[in-house]
Every structure is written in structure tokens, then in C-alpha cells.
Amino acid sequence: MSGVDRRPTMAVWKFASCDGCQLTLLDCEDELLPLADQVRISYFLEATSAAGPGPYDLSLVDGSITTPADAERIRHIRDVSRYLVTIGACATAGGIQALRNFADVAEFRAAVYASPEYVETLADSTAISLNVPVDFELRGCPVDRGQLLEVITAHLAGRRPDISDHSVCFPCKRRGTVCLPVAKGVPCLGPVTHDGCGALCPAYGRGCYGCFGPSGSTNLPAFVPLLRRDGMSGLDVVRVLRTFNTAAPEFAAASSALAEAERPPEAGQRDATGEPGPGQDGAAPRHRWEDE
Amino acid sequence: MTEPTRQAVMGPDGLEALRQALVRRGRTVVGPTVRDDAIVLAELTSASELPFGWGVEVEAGRYRLRRRSDRMAFAHSAGPQSWKKYLHPERVRQWTADRGPDGTLTVREEVDRPPAYAFLGVRPCDLSAIAVQDRVLVGGPHRDEAYRRRRTGAFLVVVECVEPGATCFCVSMGTGPAVHGGHDLALTEVDDERGHRFWVRAGSEAGAEVLAELPVRPADPTTVARAEEAVTRAAGRMGRTMPPVDLRDLMRDTLEAERWNDVAARCLTCGNCTMVCPTCYCTTTEDVTDLTGEHAERWRRWDVCYDLDFTHMHGGTVRRSGLSRYRQWLTHKIGTWHDQFGSSGCVGCGRCIVWCPVAIDITEEAHALHAEASGRDAEGAGAS
Ligand code: SF4
Ligand code: SF4
Ligand code: SF4
Ligand code: SF4
């Protein structure tokens, strides 16, 4: 054994988030020690206060970009990272805090802080990939432990992570769950949601909430009427699409189109959620069936 | 109907005797049972777990259990699962590899020992589906060993259909509602003023042996006549049909039809239709390594042609549009399957219609393609 440490270096970075995705890594109890044998964890404030110097072979980024300072910091992190992976709905789609993208952030700031002038913030909460190039995006609120380990393991082995971007219906059918919308009329976001949880909620009789954001192949205009059939109002649909992945383009386009359609004529600037009108235009949904 | 080798009549208590006779032979008995508001397939620890008195109401995108006014155990159409759940499991380990301290690689093929199955309550359409998967998975030079180990010697108790669902079309596909061989035992259920009973026929030596152990009485002409009538009546009550044309030609001649745009606008590409289909057999491989990279495993799991990864090659996905993926499904099921495996890939069970959350109906699409093609032909004829 030479004294040179040949382990690749790994860093975990935090932006606007609840830290749940980083904690998922600490939650990998059985694998943490073997992991530490394989990678040198050089930067991980959640677990240690000793920050190592860059550059880093693998950077895991948790959280979204909400301030000018963070927009600066992520560019630096990109510069010192060979392979950059976003972990979780905040880093990958802007998180629940992207609800501000549909509202007036100055109004929020004035309502929440005693001296709003000291708070510097951006109008939108954005995904990391809208700020810098990203090598892999891991979804979920929070990310799945097994998938997080798979991303790291695949990186160490130099292979592509085995992470599918098909719908939650795939694992749901594979595990033999009886389909909720078909057999019970329970609304379920599974057909448009990215796999990752293994169809956990439907297995317990609850419709999918869309924690993992849009799948790689969605058709929201065809899907929304199914939620309506199963008893959701237009407002319910807007709300269910505006949770952890509110700013994911497919969900945002569908919720904006619906909010627009539901808006009472006299409500002026307010959309159907009762919040101030959309801060972003209702871009036409991307139809995957049109050959790209 | 061909002359049965051996036949008899038994009461409902015969079902538990049948289950026990199969268990005595070391078999795991699987059959329909009520769970989570549906009739699913599960191991039966008692024949009382069969769905006595339960029926289902099905439509495109909709399935509801309902109480029947009689005691029938098999008067329900196909549920959300099929026997491929057991014969062609959703995830199977194929091999493992380990690198030793000296760097040598050891690869071990996985040879699992699945249970010896007995399936109690196979519908005739599903018996045809098993025959289709037999041709695909073990019928050619490259046999699927995981399937073969489960399929070889599986004991099949078929129950003829007397209560087709609104989405059934086995008559159009020539697979039901009567059984035409390939079974060990065939049952037909009757519940009338003379009581609840089954007309039983053995279709194999193994079946005849089991039949000899059951509490049966000689087949009486009334029971046989009632049973045959019920199956004939069922044939006249199919909820769906396929257009009465050569479907393979129809698929070949409509590849550029407008209708594909129409269905693609409605399809979610969620893959449910393929996963519930009893004949869809496609899988993908999954290679996993541990953190050290010294241990690797290959698994294969169900995959379907709606997945973008299904046609992922260097340079990306070939079938990107929803249109091309829906068209792959339909043209494979009722068209190119004939070229590949010498039969239709659809047996008319109706599952894909019921379990499509947005109610896309394979028969409606085929009729629409047929109408479009006929209209085009008529136009062409008019113009000339
Ligand atoms: S329950 Fe939801 S996730 Fe499962 S198959 Fe049905 S729609 Fe898809
Ligand atoms: S294509 Fe549909 S109706 Fe035909 S066998 Fe498959 S699931 Fe049944
Ligand atoms: S329809 Fe699709 S999933 Fe089914 S067997 Fe054909 S290619 Fe495979
Ligand atoms: S036809 Fe229905 S079940 Fe099949 S992929 Fe399309 S929406 Fe899903």
C-alpha cells in the first residue's frame, strides 16, 4: 500500500432545500462505511465541519437556486467538479419553493420579514440545470436511498446508473398493485410521474402524489381529464401539480394552462389558486408524441 | 366439443378436494381470490378463498367488484393479473459474478428452483395466452430457462367461461369461451335449481389421476347440457369484437393512417396495457454492482415498448413519439406477431382495455383503422 490516497473525492453541496436529500445519504447506515472506503468525502457540512479543498470527482447538489449569491456559488461548484449530480426535487426542478415562480416574491417578502430590504432573493426558484450543465439528475422528494447509492456505485464503476425514466405505473404493475383509478376511482398521478419510489403510495391504497416529478414521456393534456373523472376539481388539479415539482416544465405548463382556464373573469391578476397571477407564462406543453 | 377422455360431476366441495389432491402432489395451488377490490391471483390455502358469489363489472378504464345473486366462483372475467405473473416473473436474477483477491472472475448462472405450480381457474383465453408464451419463450432454439422451469409440469385446471365481460372478445380471436385442449382438467360451472356443481373432464393422464381422487358422481345429461348451453350462450354475449378481416393485413396496410394521430393524442404511454397483457413477454436487463465493484449481478425485469429506453441505441431512442410506440404495441399484438411466432399475440382477454386508465380500447382502434382503410378504398374505387 502506498501512502497516496487514490479514492475519488466526493462533495455534497446544499442550496435552498430542507436537507432531506442529504440526510438520505446519512440514512444509508449499512453502506456508509463501505462507501467511505471507496470515496473520500471531502465536503459535506451536514456530516462534518471539515471542508477539504477541491477539485472534486463527484459533486452531489441538494437544493435550488434562489439568491444571487447561490447563482454565483453553483458556477464555482461546477468549475471544481468533474461529475455533477443533482439530488432531489429542489435541485432538479426548483422544489416546493418554486411556488414563488407563480407569484410575486416581493409581496411574500414584505409579508414574512420585518425588514424586507435586507433580504436579497431572486424572483424564481430554479433547478440547478437552469444555471449550470448537470451530468445526472436524480429525482424525488426526497431521493430514494437505493437510487442514490446506485448513482454513486455506477459512478465508481464507470457505468450508466440503472435508473429508468418511465412512469410509476411500471413498478406499480410489476409489484401487482390493483390500479386505483381503474378499480376504485381514486385519483393517481402515477401515469405521468417518474419512477423512483417503486410505486410506494399506490401499494398502500393512496394515489401517487408526483414526488418524483414528470416521467420521461408524459401527456398531461390527455391525463388531466382522468383526474377530473376521479373527482378532482380544476383547482385540485392545479394544486396537485404545484407541489414539490411545481416548476418542472411539463407540470408547470399543465397547471398554468388549467389555472388560466379556471380563472374567473373578474379576478384580475389572481389565478385559480387564489394566489397572484402566474409569474411565468403558460408555455405550450411539450407533446412527446410529436417527433422531435 | 371433442369427446372427453373421462368426465364426471362434482359439487363445490370438490374444489377443496381438488386443491388438496394437488397439494398432496407437492404443488403450490394458485387461483383467483378477492383482494383490494379486485379478483387477483394468489396462492390458495383453502378453496373457500375462491371468489364464491363475486362478479365484476368492467368497461374501458373501469373495473368494479359486485356481489352476484348466485354462488358461482368463476363467473367473472379477467382480472388485473395473469398467469405470467408466475410463469414469467417480473424480475429474475440471471447470473452473479465475483472478482477474487487474485483478480480472477467467477461467473455463476442462477438456477432457481421454483415451486411446482397448479393453476386453478385458468380461463380459455388465458390458456391460449400460455400457449402463445410457450411458443415465444420455449418454442424456438433459444429457450428461456426461467420460464421453462416454471412451465414444465405446471398443472392447469381450466374453467370454461359462462359470464364474459363487456370487454371480452375471445370469440373474435378464436380462443374461447370453450376449452379446446391443452388442459389437465376442464371444469364448467353450473348453479341452478338442481344445485351448484361442476362438470369435470380430464384432458391429460395427470388430470385423469387427480380426477379419480375427487368426490364425483357420474356426469348426468342435464348437467352436461346446461353446462354446454351456458358456454354457447357466453359465446353470443361477447362485449367486444375485432373487425372481421385479416388483422395482419389490416395492420400492414394502415401504417400511415390518420387514426394513429388520434390515439396518440389520448395515450399516456404509461405502459399499463402491455404489463397486464398475458402474452407480452418483453424484458430488459439490469446490471448491478456493489460499492466495491467486486460483485456484480445481472437481473432481467419486465419492460415494454412504451418505455423510451426500449429502443435506446447509440444516438438515442428510436421510437420517440407516442404515436410510434402505440403503433408498435398494436401492430405487434395483432399483426407482426403472426410473422414472428405464427399466431396472433392477442387472445381477446380484454385486460388492456379495462386497465388502460384513459380507456383506450384495442378493438375500437382496430375498427377505426378498418373504417379508415375501407373509406380510403371506397374513395379510391370511386375515383377510378
Ligand atoms: S395505481 Fe396509479 S401508478 Fe399504479 S398503475 Fe394505476 S395509475 Fe399507475
Ligand atoms: S392485447 Fe389486450 S385483449 Fe389482447 S391478449 Fe393482450 S391484454 Fe388481452
Ligand atoms: S407489444 Fe410491446 S411489450 Fe408487448 S411483446 Fe410486443 S414489443 Fe413487447
Ligand atoms: S394505451 Fe392506455 S394503458 Fe396503454 S400506454 Fe396508452 S394510456 Fe397507457
A164-185: pLDDT as tens digits: 999 999 999 999 999 999 999 9
CA nearest to B330, candidates B380, B378, B259: B259
Residue B240: pLDDT above 50?
yes
From residue B284, how far is each of A162, B21, B94, B301, B305 by CA, in Å?
11, 38, 12, 6, 11
Is the same domain home to B288 and B145? no
Residues 6+ apart with CB under 8 A from B287: A159, A162, B296, B297, B298, B299
Q: How far away, in angstroms, is B351 Cα from ligand 1 center?
A: 15
Q: How far away, in angstroms, is B233 Cα from ligand 1 center?
A: 35
Give the Cα separation of B92 and B95 in Å (integer). 9
The arithmetic mean of pLDDT across residues B271-277, rounded, is 97
Of B235, B263, B280, the residue at which a domain comes to its end is: B235
Specify the long-range contacts of residues B202-209, CB closer than 8 Å, at least 24 apart. Answer: B202/B4, B202/B5, B202/B6, B202/B7, B203/B4, B203/B5, B203/B158, B203/B179, B206/B155, B207/B155, B207/B183, B208/B5, B208/B6
Q: Which ligand is nearest to the CA of B335?
A: 3
Query: What is the CB < 6 Å shell around ligand 4?
Result: B 267-273, 306, 356, 358, 360
Of B209, B235, B261, the residue at which a domain comes to its end is: B235
Q: What is the pLDDT of residue A112?
A: 80
Specify the long-range contacts of residues A105-108, CB closer than 8 Å, at least 24 apart. Answer: A105/A279, A107/A276
Is the same domain home to B258 and B342? yes
From chain A, pick out residues whose CB is under 8 angstroms from the CB of B299. none
pTM, 2 dp: 0.91
Rg value, chain B, Cα: 23
**A193 backbone dihedrals φ, ψ, rounded to 5°:** -100, 145
CB of A31 less than 8 A from some CB of B:
yes
Give the pLDDT band (50/70/90) at residue A114: confident
From residue B268, how far is each of B117, B136, B195 by CA, in Å?
36, 28, 47
Give the Cα separation of B167 and B60 in Å (integer). 7
Of B235, B257, B284, the residue at which a domain comes to its end is: B235
- For residue B2, being part of any structural domain is answered with no
Question: Which positions 273-292 of A are in contact with B (Cβ < 8 Å)?
Answer: 288-292
Give the Cα separation of A251 and B163 in Å (integer). 43
Is the same domain home to B185 and B265? no
- Per the prediction, chain A carries an average pLDDT of 85
From chain B, pick out residues whose CB is under 8 angstroms from the CB of A221. 265
CA-nearest residue, atom 7 of ligand 2 = B277
Q: What is the pLDDT of residue A277?
A: 36
Residue B347: all three cell numbers together: 387472445
> What residues form DSSP beta bridges with B117?
B28
Is the same domain home to B72 and B121? yes
CB of A135 less than 8 A from some CB of B:
no
From chain B, pick out residues whose CB is under 8 angstroms from the CB of A169. 270-272, 275, 357
From residue A117, how far is each of A107, A113, B200 by CA, in Å?
12, 9, 85
C-alpha torsion sign, points B219, B223, B225, B231:
negative
What ipTM does this complex have? 0.94
Is the same domain home to B93 and B177? yes
Domains of chain A by start residue, with CATH: 9-157 (3.40.50.700), 169-273 (no CATH)
The arithmetic mean of pLDDT across residues A101-122, rounded, is 82
Rounded to the nearest angstrom, the minimum Cα separation between B279 and chain A is 15
Q: What is the pLDDT of residue B227?
A: 97
The more confidently predicted of residues A176 and A112 is A176
**Mutation to probe ligand 2, out of B130, B238, B277 (largest number of atoms < 8 A from CB):** B277
Question: Which positions 177-206 of A are in contact with B (Cβ < 8 Å)?
Answer: 177-179, 181-184, 188, 190-192, 205
* Count of structural domains within chain B: 2
Residue B292: pLDDT above 90?
no
Chain-chain contact of B306 with A289 (C-beta, under 8 angstroms): no
Is the same domain home to B227 and B276? no
- For residue B379, being part of any structural domain is answered with no
Q: What is the pLDDT of residue B313?
A: 87
Q: How far away, in angstroms, is B356 Cα from ligand 1 center?
A: 10
Strand pairing of B6-10 and B195-202?
Answer: antiparallel
CA dihedral (B338, B341, B345, B347) in degrees, to 10, reads 100
Residues 6+ apart with CB under 8 A from B36: A177, A178, A183, A205
Give the Cα separation of A22 and A13 in Å (integer). 9
Name the residue of chain B whose CA is nearest to A174's CA: B90
Give the Cα separation of B94 and B300 in Å (integer). 7
Is the same domain home to B212 and B268? no
**Mutation to probe ligand 3, out of B270, B279, B282 (largest number of atoms < 8 A from CB):** B282
Domain of B80? Answer: 7-235
User: What are the tens digits of pLDDT across the range B215-239?
Assistant: 999 999 999 999 999 999 999 999 9
Q: What is the pLDDT of residue A47?
A: 58
Query: Which of A182, A190, A289 lies nearest to residue B264, judging by beta carbons?
Result: A289
CB of B295 less than 8 A from some CB of A:
no
Percent over 70 (pLDDT), chain B? 97
Name the residue of chain A whose CA is nearest to B289's CA: A153
Is the same domain home to B58 and B163? yes
**Mutation to probe ligand 1, out of A172, A182, A212, A227 (largest number of atoms < 8 A from CB):** A172
Give the pLDDT band (50/70/90) at residue A118: confident
Q: What is the pLDDT of residue A275?
A: 43
User: What are the tens digits of pLDDT across the range B348-371?
Assistant: 999 999 999 999 999 999 999 999
Residue A276: pLDDT above 50?
no
Q: Which ligand is nearest to the CA of B304?
A: 3
Is the same domain home to B205 and B315? no
CA-nearest residue, atom 4 of ligand 3 = B280
- For residue B17, being part of any structural domain is answered with yes
The region that residue B174 occupies, defined by phi over 0 for left and psi between -120 and 50 for alpha, beta otherwise, is left
Q: What is the pLDDT of residue A281?
A: 38
Q: What is the pLDDT of residue B5?
A: 52
CA atoms within 13 A on the CB side of B139: 11
User: What are the tens digits of pLDDT across the range A183-208?
Assistant: 999 999 999 999 999 999 999 999 99
Chain-chain contact of A179 with B355 (C-beta, under 8 angstroms): yes
- For residue B360, being part of any structural domain is answered with yes
User: What are the tens digits of pLDDT across the range B327-340?
Assistant: 999 999 999 999 99
Residue A53: all three cell numbers together: 479543498
Cα three-residue angle B275-A199-A188, rounded to 5 degrees: 90
- For residue B270, being part of any structural domain is answered with yes
Residue A138: all three cell numbers together: 436524480
The arithmetic mean of pLDDT across residues B296-303, rounded, is 95
Is the same domain home to B97 and B74? yes
CA nearest to B80, candidates A229, A173, A186, A227: A173
The arithmetic mean of pLDDT across residues A132-160, rounded, is 93
CA nearest to A158, candidates A82, A60, A271: A82
- For residue B114, being part of any structural domain is answered with yes
- For residue B241, being part of any structural domain is answered with no
Query: Which of A157, A178, A191 lies nearest to residue B270, judging by beta carbons?
Result: A191
| A126 secondary structure, DSSP code | B
- Per the prediction, chain B carries an average pLDDT of 94
Give the Cα separation of B113 and B234 in Å (integer). 39
Using CB atoms within 10 A of its CB, is residue B107 exposed (0-12), middle (13-18) or buried (19+)? exposed
User: What are the tens digits of pLDDT across the range A37-57?
Assistant: 889 888 776 655 555 667 899
Residue B11: pLDDT above 90?
yes
User: Chain A to chain B, count of Cβ pairs less than 8 Å apart?
Assistant: 144
Q: What is the pLDDT of residue A271?
A: 46
User: What are the tens digits of pLDDT across the range B102-151?
Assistant: 999 999 999 999 999 999 999 999 999 999 999 999 998 899 999 999 99
Q: Are B306 and A164 in contact (CB under 8 A)?
A: no
Question: Which positions 91-120 of B are in contact with A (Cβ < 8 Å)?
Answer: 91
Give the pLDDT band (50/70/90) at residue A266: low
> What residues form DSSP beta bridges with B64?
B57
Is the same domain home to B319 and B348? yes
Rg value, chain A, Cα: 20
Give the Cα separation of A273 and A259 in Å (integer). 7
Q: Are B352 and B63 in contact (CB under 8 A)?
A: no
CA-nearest residue, atom 6 of ligand 2 = B277
| Helix ranges, chain A (H) | 20-26, 29-38, 68-79, 89-93, 105-112, 145-157, 169-174, 180-184, 200-203, 220-229, 234-241, 249-262
From residue B333, how far is each of B125, B173, B250, B267 by CA, in Å?
15, 12, 12, 17
Give the Cα separation of B175 and B169 in Å (integer). 9
Is the same domain home to B213 and B258? no
> What residues form DSSP beta bridges with B155?
B118
- For residue B384, being part of any structural domain is answered with no
From residue B266, how far is each of A146, B43, B192, B247, B358 by CA, in Å?
34, 37, 44, 23, 7
Chain-chain contact of A291 with B293 (C-beta, under 8 angstroms): no
CA-nearest residue, atom 1 of ligand 1 = A179
